[in-house]
Chains A and B, each alone.
Chain A
Amino acid sequence: MAARACSAEASGYRGTQMLTILFDGIAYGMLLFVLAAGLAVTLGLMNFVNLAHGAFAMAGGYVTVLTVNRLGVPFLASLPIAFLASAIAGFILERTLYVHVYGKSHLDQVLFTIGLVFMSVAAVDYVMGSSPVFVQVPGSLQGKFDLFGIGIGRYRLLIIIICGLLTIALQCTLAFTRFGSRLRAAVDDSRVARGLGINVNRIFAFTFAFGSGLAGLGGALGAEILGLDPAFPLKFMIYFLIVVTVGGTSSIIGPFFASLLLGIGDVAGKYYVPTLGSFVIYTIMIVILIWRPQGLFARTSSR
């Protein structure tokens, strides 16, 4: 009798624990989506392999660390600053450097963006030091509360709310606004879009800056969860690329589901089978890419 009650309690505990892991996984996945959304559009729109996307996320993270820890700006107010800083950095780099590389081969793009990653890693190391840094999150956002027995971290809830709102806003912008329809046209076939008088270059510059800003915001939000040190762009490059290649570049929904899958899979994998580490994620990625090279959610008739 006592044993049965105990086991029932244990299974209930396991159930809520599973829900907690699911919750953490969703928060992680949504964070990954905001971090990688800009890359999805860049790849889909200009067929440009930007391995340096993580550098913008790192820039956002460090801007938050500086403004919150040194200048004493409230954490929530520092998020828009991180977004703007990364967006401006993205815009300037796009106009000065990236614009020369669009027409080049994928090999050139890879070399160029790896070069940028190395430079940003070493530069941040030089300015900020190589040790990991932490953002001082206000006390009201720390800790957990119980909801029907599920442990919910306040900070992760904030991430889900912000990233969820951003996702809805992104999807609405893409689906219902004039800019969104132009962007979709440019992604589908940029030559025809140009022929119709759409200024694809300007759309791209704006989207690049906005995507960099989103990455910066993701970096600022994620500094607490993912950890922030100069090697950030290299460590998470593979995650961003997984989101984009597995999700496909033809819509924003594909990367979104891919991020959720990756986030939940990574958190659950590290919890239940810690001995395997990231092995599972990489293997699944290879299998999916063999099975569907254009991504899980891509339309079959891709360019």
Chain B
Amino acid sequence: MIARSTIVAATERLAARARWHPLEFAFWISAFSAIYLMPSQHLILTEIAWLGLFALSLDLILGYAGIVSLGHAAFFGFGAYAAALLAKYEIINEPVLAMLAAGAGALMLGFVTSFLVLRGSDLARLMVTLGVALVLRELANRYGWLTGGADGLQGVTIRPLLGTFRFDMFGHTGYAYCLIVLFVLFLIARRLVNSPFGLSLLSVKGNPLRASAIGISVDARLVAIYTVAAGYAGIAGALLAQTTAFASLEVFSFDRSADLLLVLIIGGAGYLYGGLIGAIIFKFMQDYLSALTPQYWPFWIGLVLVTIVLVGRDRISSWTAPVRSLSVLMDWRTLRSSQVTRPPERTFQ
């Protein structure tokens, strides 16, 4: 009887996690209504949409699986170059199909490189992820006949979306397109993290040794989520390339991976809206600060990062606590306690 009621309680709690909250509806309704209500802001909103998707993909591996990556731009850049090349050489003319193809390519790349991040400490992972991004950047630089080298890939023409909707210079089509892609991928990610698979990921993040002791195959889980996240990042890169009709070596840069960490940290890692909220704040902050001092904008990024760490990440992201506790997306108490009593990672191996 006790066991049965416990199971019922547990099932109910898990179902509550996955339930849609009114605030979530409000978020998406306001995002979609911006298509009609804020036409003058569509360029920056487009950037927010693909940056949010990119941050969402980092959240999947950092927030849900605990992998610290300094080279997530590798997949983003791969997707961007793939989409731009497909359009330039007219291999796949339809942007949606090209975006899916670029995402699939990044997915494959993620699957292959995921085995590299399985082994080793945090430091080795940092180095390997960083190294993969650097290798790809070198390749893009080296094969200039294909990628345009340091000048970037120019002369890309993106055909109309689905053969009907032409990309315009005000970003109207671009925003609607990016937002729909973001929303669909968000739904998939939301389903994923609330599934038993998502829960097992959280346990792997909490303590890999104990997770494997209760029968979770840690490596397979990490490979799977890393692969999915790589595909997401590739699609985010493809969206960038398609809405700007351009791809340059900068998509692989270390700064991009570092900025992305900041985006996710501002919004708070470990719940799906973190990346999206972070992207909104980051883009508007960048817009404002770089208007003041375009050249010294990195200084302010650095200052924000240092301040966030010194004040404490959990305290900074606690401004989102009302949102979280209201929406029951993640139980605030379990979040707090898991952060306070974080077990030493892989110490006893």
Partner-B contacts on A (CB < 8 A): 43, 49, 97, 100-101, 104-108, 110-112, 114-123, 125-126, 130, 234, 237-238, 241-242, 245, 275-279, 282-283, 285-286, 289-290, 293-294, 303
Contacts and interface: CB of A to CB of B under 8 A. Distances in A.
Interface in B291-309: 295-299, 301-306, 308-309
Contacts of B221: none
Given A111-B309, A122-B295, A241-B127, 15 more contacts: A43-B123, A101-B309, A108-B309, A110-B261, A111-B308, A115-B306, A118-B305, A122-B297, A130-B295, A275-B142, A279-B135, A279-B142, A290-B116, A294-B124, A303-B347
B84 interface: no
Nearest to B134: A282
A286 B112 CA distance: 13
B262 A279 contact: no
Contact of B295 (A43, A101, A125): A125
A282 B135 contact: yes
Given A282-B134, A286-B132, A106 B308 contact: no
B181 interface: no
Contacts, number: 129
B119 A293 contact: yes
Nearest to B120: A293
Given A111-B309, A279-B138, A122 B302 contact: yes
A112 B306 contact: yes
B282 to A, nearest CB: 14
Interface secondary structure of B, over-half rule: helix
A104 B314 CA distance: 12
11 contacts: A97-B310, A100-B310, A104-B309, A107-B68, A111-B305, A122-B297, A122-B302, A289-B124, A293-B119, A294-B124, A303-B347
A241 B262 CA distance: 21
Given A110-B261, A115-B304, A238-B130, A105 B342 contact: yes
B309 A279 contact: no
B62 interface: yes
Given A118-B298, A121-B298, A234-B254, A97 B306 contact: yes
Contact of B141 (A106, A120, A241, A277): A277
A295 to B, nearest CB: 9
Interface of B: 62, 68, 70, 116, 119-124, 126-128, 130-132, 134-135, 138-139, 141-142, 254-255, 258, 261-262, 265, 295-299, 301-306, 308-310, 313, 342, 347
Contact of A242 (B127, B135, B297): B127
Given A114-B261, A286-B128, A286-B135, A245 B123 contact: yes
Contact of B124 (A105, A130, A245): A245
Contacts of A241: 126-127, 130
Contacts of B254: 234, 237
A120 B302 CA distance: 9
Contacts of A100: 310
Interface secondary structure of A, over-half rule: helix
Contacts of A279: 135, 138-139, 142
Contacts of B347: 303
Nearest to A295: B124
Contact of B131 (A107, A112, A286, A293): A286
A125 B296 CA distance: 8
Contact of B134 (A43, A49, A278, A294): A278
Nearest to A120: B302
Contacts of B116: 286, 289-290
A276 B141 CA distance: 10
Nearest to B70: A110
A189 to B, nearest CB: 13
B305 A106 contact: no
Q: Which 10 A-B pairs have the closest CB atoms?
A: A115-B305, A118-B302, A293-B120, A122-B299, A119-B302, A115-B306, A112-B309, A106-B122, A115-B302, A118-B298
B258 A118 contact: yes
Contacts of A108: 309, 313
Interface centre among B298, B304, B310 (most CB of A within 10 A): B298
A122 B306 CA distance: 14
B142 A118 contact: no
Nearest to A130: B295
A114 B258 contact: yes
Contacts of B296: 122, 125-126
B183 to A, nearest CB: 28
Nearest to A107: B68
Interface centre among B134, B303, B308, B309 (most CB of A within 10 A): B309
B117 to A, nearest CB: 10
A278 B308 CA distance: 34
Given A112-B306, A115-B301, A278-B134, A289 B128 contact: yes
Contacts of B121: 293-294
Interface centre among A120, A234, A276, A293 (most CB of B within 10 A): A293
A119 B298 CA distance: 7
A259 to B, nearest CB: 16
Contacts of A110: 68, 70, 126, 261
A290 B258 contact: no
B4 to A, nearest CB: 39
Given A106-B123, A107-B62, A278-B138, A114 B302 contact: yes
Contacts of B342: 105
Contacts of A107: 62, 68
